[in-house]
Amino acid sequence: MKLLFVDDEQTFLKYLAKRLVLDGFTVKTTFSGEEGVEAAANQDFDVAVVDLQMPGIDGIEVQKRLKDLQPNLPCIVLTGHGSVEHALESGKYNAFKFLSKPVDMDTLIETINAAYDYRVQQEKSSFGPEDPQTGTKKASAIKKLYGKFRKLYGVEK
């Protein structure tokens, strides 16, 4: 599973990434909202874990932009500055779950797996049946291609 982590706390993020790699995940770490959005514009991820308070664009804006780039990408909000208001604001942009730092590693892994399972279920229910010849979902491929063209030509929805 391919994860995108967006957090300005580099030491914390490097520790998490090392631990998750040992558990079999592929992890892309970015240390600002801008870097996270750029990474998502260039490659697909299965799940994103986003900090809320960062210099530059904050986690809520990152969620908005990730949703535009990869509509099915579930975002887990992980923050040391948690509040009900932030959770509600994140929920507007379909945050999968809101976790507070420090987070228990088992809880984080369970949440990542649940977010991935949710994504798979959403993709199965929103796209047509598999093409019997290729075994792939045509609608999914077309949607990804459409999103990349939109980004390439700067076309908003």
The H or E element containing residue 97 is strand 95-100
Per-residue pLDDT tens listing for the chain (157 residues) = 999 999 999 998 999 999 999 999 999 999 999 999 999 999 999 999 999 888 899 888 999 999 999 999 999 988 776 555 555 555 555 688 888 888 899 999 999 999 999 999 988 887 555 554 445 555 555 666 666 656 555 655 4
Q: For domain 2-126, which CATH number applies: 3.30.450.40, 3.10.20.10, 3.40.50.2300, 2.40.30.10?
A: 3.40.50.2300
- The per-residue DSSP string of 98-154 comes to EEESS--HHHHHHHHHHHHHHHHHHHHHHS-PPPTTT-S-HHHHHHHHHHHHHHHHT
Phi, psi of 140 (to 5 degrees): -65, -45
* Rounded distance between C-alpha atoms, residue 108 and residue 7, angstroms: 15
Domain ranges of the chain: 2-126, 129-157
pTM attached to this predicted model: 0.75
Pick from 117, 23, 12, 25: nearest CA to 74: 117
Question: How many other CB atoms are found less than 10 A from the CB of residue 76?
Answer: 22
